[in-house]
A and B are shown apart, each in its own frame.
Chain A
Amino acid sequence: MSIKHHLSEPLLMGYSAGTLPEAFNLLVATHISMCDECRAELASYDAVGGTLLEDCGSAEMSGDALATVLACLGEDTGKTDRRATPRRPGGGVLPTPLSDYVGGDLDAVKWRSVGGGVRQAILETSPEASVRLLHIPAGMAMPDHGHHGQELTLVLQGAFRDESERFARGDVEIADEDTMHTPVAEPGEDCICLAATDAPLKFKNLLARLAQPFFRI
C-alpha cells in the first residue's frame, strides 16, 4: 500500500503520551494499523516515554505490594485475556481497532442518511471530540465547510480529492481553522472515511448549517 499522507508529529507524540481525546486515538490507531511508516515513528515516541519512565524517580510501593500482586498472578497462570492475544487483520475493510468500535466490518455499520446521498455513523467515544464514519457516493462533493478546531479524515475505501491533492485508502487529511475545502469523492468506488473532529464543523451553505444540529455533522 502506498500511503502518501501521514499523521503529524504532534498527533503521534500525543498518541504515544496518551493525551489525545479518545476519538483521535481511534483514528490514529486505525491509521497505524495500515501504515508501517507511522508505526515505526510511533515506536520512537514510545521509546522517549520508556526513557522518561526510567528517569522519572521512584515512589515507594507499600510493603506488601509485591506479595499482593504475586498472589493474584497465581490465578492468572497460563490464562491470557482476550485483549492480550495478538490481533490479526481480518481481511475486511475496517482495521481491527475500528471494527472493535463498530462491532464488525462495514456490513455492521448503522448508517444514517444526512442528505445528498451522504450517510454517516457516529461512533461512541468520550465527549471532548467526536468521530464518525462517512459514506460519500462516488463523484459526490462533501458539503463545503470550514473548521473551528482540528479535523482528521482517514480514507478507508475509494478516494477523494481536495483542491490540490488526492487521498486514497490509508491517507489522512489534517485540516484546521484555516482550511476551507471541498472534498469530492472520485468517480468509481464510493468513498468511505473515518473523520474525527474536536469541534463542530461550520458550513458555508445556510441549509447545511440549519441541518447541522439535527445530524451532528
Chain B
Amino acid sequence: MTTTETESEIAADWADCMLRIHAERDTAAFSRLFEHFAPRVKAFLMKSGADAALAEECAQDVMATVWRKAHLFDPSRASAATWIFTVARNRRIDFLRKQRRPEPEELTWGPEAEPDQADVVALQQESEKLAKAIATLPAKQRELIEKAYYGDLTHSEIAEVTGLPLGTIKSRLRLALDRLRHAMQ
C-alpha cells in the first residue's frame, strides 16, 4: 500500500480482504487484516476499561470471529472498519459485561447474491466523508463522541466523569451529530 492511495481506496482494499476471507478462506488476506485491525481493537478495548491481558485475549477472539462470520459482511452496507467495530462491540459486551447482546434479524439476501458495485463505491465514499467530518469536529464535541463509543459509559456516567451537566453533554452530542449529518448531505 502506498501513501498516495486515498482513504476510500484503502477502505476498498480492506473490504476486498474480507471478501477473500469469505470466498477463498484466504489466510494471507486475514493476516493483513489482523495486522491492521487487531492492535486497533485492542486499543479500543483498553479505552473501554479492559486491562492489557483481557484486551489482548478479546482482540484475538474478535479477529477469529471476523474469520468465522466473514460471510455476513456486505460491502454495500458497511466498511470493513465499521463491521469489525460491531463485532468488537458485541464481544466487549460478552467479555466485559457478561451479557447477551440481542441483534436485529439479518436482512434476507435477494436472489442476486453479489452486492451492487455502485452501492459499494458509494458506501466507501460516504465513509471517507464521515471520517473527514469527524476529524474536523470541534475538540469538545469529538471528545464526547469518543467517550460515548469507547468509554462504555452512559450519558449520565459521562456526566460524572467529566463533571459536565447532563444537559450540556446531550446538547454537545446533538450538535456533533447535526454537524456530521450536515457534512454527509
Chain A contact residues, CB within 8 Å of chain B: 9-10, 13-14, 16-20, 22, 25-26, 28-30, 32-33, 39, 42-44, 46-62, 65-66, 68-70, 72-73, 76-81, 84, 86-89, 95-98, 100-101, 125-126
Nearest-neighbour CB distance to chain A for B178, whole angstroms, equals 10
Interface-central residue, A10, A25, A69, A72, by most chain B CB under 10 Å = A69
**Residue of A with least CB distance to B181:** A44
| Contacts known (A25-B101, A33-B105); A56 close to B40, Cβ less than 8 A | yes
Beta-carbon contact of A68 and B60 below 8 Å: yes
| Contacts known (A68-B60, A80-B68, A81-B68); A48 close to B130, Cβ less than 8 A | yes
Beta-carbon contact of A53 and B88 below 8 Å: yes
Beta-carbon contact of A53 and B134 below 8 Å: no
Answer yes or no: B148 CB below 8 A from chain A CBs: yes
Chain B contact residues, CB within 8 Å of chain A: 25, 27, 30-31, 34-35, 37-44, 46-47, 52, 55-56, 59-60, 63-64, 67-69, 71-72, 77-79, 81-86, 88-90, 92-93, 97, 99-109, 126-127, 130-131, 134-135, 145-146, 148-150, 152-155, 170, 173-174, 177, 180, 184
Residues of A within 8 A of B44 (CB): 52-53, 56
Residues of B within 8 A of A100 (CB): 102
Residues of A within 8 A of B146 (CB): 52, 56
| A79 and B119 alpha carbons, distance in the complex (Å) | 29
| A62 and B46 alpha carbons, distance in the complex (Å) | 15
Nearest-neighbour CB distance to chain A for B171, whole angstroms, equals 12
List 6 A-B pairs, minimum CB-CB distance, nearest first. Answer: A50-B82, A58-B39, A50-B81, A86-B106, A32-B104, A29-B102
| Contacts known (A18-B152, A39-B104); A53 close to B170, Cβ less than 8 A | no
Beta-carbon contact of B93 and A73 below 8 Å: no
Beta-carbon contact of B47 and A56 below 8 Å: yes
Q: List 30 A-B contacts (CB under 8 A).
A: A13-B148, A16-B149, A18-B92, A18-B101, A18-B152, A25-B101, A33-B104, A46-B78, A46-B85, A46-B86, A47-B78, A47-B82, A47-B130, A54-B81, A56-B44, A59-B39, A59-B43, A59-B55, A61-B38, A61-B56, A62-B56, A65-B59, A68-B60, A69-B60, A69-B63, A73-B64, A77-B25, A79-B68, A80-B71, A125-B100
| A54 and B64 alpha carbons, distance in the complex (Å) | 19
Residues of A within 8 A of B127 (CB): 47, 50-51
| A153 and B148 alpha carbons, distance in the complex (Å) | 25
Nearest-neighbour CB distance to chain B for A4, whole angstroms, equals 19
Beta-carbon contact of B67 and A50 below 8 Å: no
| A18 and B67 alpha carbons, distance in the complex (Å) | 22
